[in-house]
Structure 1
Amino acid sequence: MLNNKHLKQWSCIVSERMPNLSIPQAIGLATWSFGMVMTKSSSLTQVSEFIGAVNNEKPNTVRQRLKEWYQEEKAKKGDKRRTLDVSRCFASLLLWVISLLPQNIQQIALAMDATSIGDKFIVLSINILLAGCGIPVAWCIVNATEPGSWKPHWQKLITDLKDTIPPDQKVIVAADRGLYAD
């Protein structure tokens, strides 16, 4: 399935850094991320065509595999298909980003952010701040019109990252002042 040596190498790295993923899940994530970086696009069509070309596969075969990777379990074909619980990846993702930081870093800055996607969704995310950028390491998506508190969502995101940051690191958390509201 992986004929391109660079895609194979990236799949090995993803599998090593995300040990909680099954091999097919790691390959799916590696294929998507490799295709998006190389095409500078998240378009299913562009990524499928690129991966098909570099991996000597038909683009429609790649397209179907990529779609099945992000679809819900009931939409997938095959008995062993399952849904990926992304929250199981948050701690591994944070550890991966921390491993890329310079060794002399004594503190880590995290930002809690709520971003509206029109009037449809709100993305609640925890981001590690580095060189003026926020790298999302944990997130959830809530319906923008859904009444209720964000507090349980924030608590779950924080719990998902609990005990991940090395104890010798000082952690600074920045949050928008509106995030304290019920």
Structure 2
Amino acid sequence: MLKNKYLKQWSCIVSEHLPHLSIPQAIGLATWSFGMVMTKSSSLTQVSRFIGAVNEEKPNTVRQRLKEWYQSGKAKKGEKRSTLEVSSCFAPLLMWVISLLPIDLERIALAMDATTIGNKFVVLSINVLLAGCGIPIAWSIVKANEPGSWKPYWQKLLRQIKEAVPNGWTVIVPADRGLYAPWLYQVIVEAGWHPFLRINQQGLVKISSHGQWQPLDALVSAPGQSWSGQVVCFKTNPLACTWLARWDSGYQEPWLVLTDLSPQRADALWYGLRPSTDCVYRDLKSDGWQWQNTRLLDPQRAERLWLAMAVATLWMVMLGGEAENQFPEPNLS
């Protein structure tokens, strides 16, 4: 039973936007995210103590309830045991974020990125770039150094959120150099979205199908230069695309970005949105929920706790706006 009125209000908001969750699941998610925001920590002990104090409960009672929330159904007590399916929350999370945007915006940036949690996990996440930060809306967590390709994880994540974006919206998908792959470019295009994938300077490019191959760094070779146009990129696994190159003063190297948008519709500066996703990792780790100190070892449990951190991050962004529907528009024009 929730006695604290603010926790109760937040639980109602969480349940409204994630209506498929059972009442215990929604209350657990609201309690975790509420406690994280108030304590600036994802520590089970700290959150349990805080919730116990504000909700007039014994900390150990809260601790057991919060611990069971991220466990699998088999590990829980009682007859009506169920496992929270985190992926079922991805599309509703994205729809929640979209509901906060100006109704005439009709465009959004979804960044793909990977981050490590010590030597325990690698988190593959898709983050909405909004208000100068990234809000996780879909993720998979795998054990660090686990063999195998990340391709199936990324493909599944993109499928799970595709239907949440309204028809007709412009969606750009930035990703840093370490994630570029021909299949990733194609999967994003097939979703009806626009890849904005940064690549390394190594490789060859030709400006026309009958042109000569030349090094990728030949067209933009010094600070202050920029270039955009349709090209065939890479002699091995060639890709016909738009190539955006920009080298601003003060930077050690240029941005080289591949997209399917025409040169007239795209700007390399849009890639400047992607570093906003680095902010979310700082918020989830050292600057915010301190998740780098997690003792969890099971990836599935970690994914459930990541859901609470995602909702906590979303709430912080909501609180940071002048009103829930007043956010700075992503600069895509």
Bin for the TM-score computed over the shorter chain: over 0.9
1:37 maps to which residue?
37
Greater share of helix: 1
Q: Which has the larger radius of gyration?
A: 2
Residues 73-122 of structure 1, C-alpha deviations (whole Å, 9 max, x = no match): 22211111211110000000011111112333231001000112233321
- Matched residue type, 2:20: N
2:173 maps to which residue?
173
Distance in 2 (CA, whole Å) between partners of 1:26 and 1:118 is 30
Distance in 2 (CA, whole Å) between partners of 1:45 and 1:119 is 23
User: Any gaps of 5 or more consecutive residues in structure 2?
Assistant: 184-333
Distance in 2 (CA, whole Å) between partners of 1:32 and 1:25 is 11
- Matched residue type, 2:34: F
2:5 maps to which residue?
5
- Structure possessing the higher relative contact order (Cα contacts under 8 Å, 6 or more residues apart): 2
1:143 maps to which residue?
143
2:68 maps to which residue?
68
Identical positions, percent: 77
Matches within 5 A, 1:23-172: 23-172=23-172
Distance in 1 (CA, whole Å) between partners of 2:140 and 2:88 is 12
- Say whether 1:20 aligns with 2:14: no
Aligned length: 182
TM-score under structure 2 length normalisation: 0.53
TM-score under structure 1 length normalisation: 0.94
Distance in 1 (CA, whole Å) between partners of 2:175 and 2:79 is 43
List 4+ stretches of structure 1 deviating above 4 A.
none
Question: RMSD across aligned C-alpha pairs, in angstroms?
Answer: 1.4
- Matched residue type, 1:174: P
- Give the CA deviation at 1:135: 0.7
- Matched residue type, 1:179: L
- Give the CA deviation at 1:41: 1.5
Distance in 1 (CA, whole Å) between partners of 2:19 and 2:162 is 18
- Give the CA deviation at 1:72: 2.1
Distance in 2 (CA, whole Å) between partners of 1:114 and 1:64 is 31
